[in-house]
Amino acid sequence: MCVDCVKSQFPDRGNTCLEAGAYLLNYDRCAACQERDVLQSSHRSREEVDEEEIITYNHVCQNCHHVVAKHEYTFSIIDDYQEYTMLCLLCGRGEDLISVSPEDPRKMASLF
């Protein structure tokens, strides 16, 4: 990972969790070749560990193949909720928890 390629390290993205793509607003330029071009994804892998899906890939400069950041996205089901997380120097930190039920019990409790 290269801190010189990004404007801000691990920005807080709230509940935004990207399984693919890149947060290009945070991309300054490639520290190796000084170009600011579209990033490619490389070394994409998907594995399941203890009922958790983990997707990882590298954000790579398309000109010189310098690795800008490693992106990690996870998905799991915990009780009645789908949990998503993202951790990436470029795309940031994010997590989200969504009910699998049509009526989210957390939202219903806040009504009373």
Tens digit of pLDDT for each residue in 41-63? 999 999 998 889 999 999 999 99
The pLDDT, as a whole number, for residue 111 is: 47
Burial of 100 (0-12, 13-18, 19+ CB in 10 A): exposed
Higher pLDDT, 107 or 112: 107
Q: What is the pTM of this model?
A: 0.85
Q: According to DSSP H, which parts of the chain are helical?
A: 105-110
Q: What is the DSSP letter of 11?
A: -
Contact 91, 18 (CB under 8 A): yes
* Alpha carbons 93 and 73: distance in angstroms, whole number: 10
Residue 29 belongs to domain spanning: 3-110
The pLDDT, as a whole number, for residue 1 is: 78
Higher pLDDT, 80 or 104: 80
Q: Domain with 43 in it: what CATH number?
A: 2.60.40.4240
Is the pLDDT confidence value at 108 over 60? no
Chain segment 4-23, per-residue pLDDT in tens: 999 999 999 999 999 999 99
Both tokens of residue 107? 């939202």
Is the pLDDT confidence value at 110 over 80? no
Closest CA to 10 of 69, 92, 70, 95: 92
Count structural domains, the chain: 1
Chain segment 60-74, per-residue pLDDT in tens: 999 999 999 999 999
